[in-house]
Amino acid sequence: MSCPICGKDTDPRYRPFCSRRCADIDLGRWLKGGYVLPGDAAEDGADPLAEDLPSGQDMSGQDRGPSGGPSGRLN
């Protein structure tokens, strides 16, 4: 098996990479968004997770009052 970054033989300590350097290069690519799945781009300001929430609930699962704040009710 060869290193996906440089093509050298892999080292069992860093598998599937050949060295710590190549492993770090790969991690940097992940953190900077270098690896992405193809798909439709999200609209600016859109929260994809908010679409899954029942109406009237925030991310914590608590009901929101009419002003958008907590309603004071316990779930």
Domain annotation covers residue 73: no
pLDDT tens per residue across span 14-45: 999 999 999 999 999 999 988 888 887 766 66
Q: Is 6 annotated as a binding residue?
A: yes
What are the C-alpha distances in Å from 23 to residues 7, 36, 56, 57, 69? 13, 18, 44, 41, 45
Residue 40's pLDDT is what? 79
What six digits make up the tokens of 35? Answer: 């690896």
Q: What is the CATH number of the domain that holds 25?
A: 3.30.50.10
Q: Is residue 16 part of a domain?
A: yes
The CA distance from 12 to 73, in Å, is 55
Above 80 in pLDDT, residue 66? no
Residue 10 lies in a domain: yes
- For the chain, the domain total comes to 1
In a domain, 59, yes or no: no
Residue 75 inside a domain? The answer is no
* Domain contains 55: no
Return d(Cα 11, Cα 55) in angstroms, integer: 52
Tell whether 22 is in a known binding site. Answer: yes
Range of the domain at 14: 1-35
**Residue 40 marked in a binding site:** no
Cα–Cα distance measured from residue 62 to residue 7, given in angstroms and rounded to the nearest whole number: 51
User: What is the pTM assigned to this prediction?
Assistant: 0.50
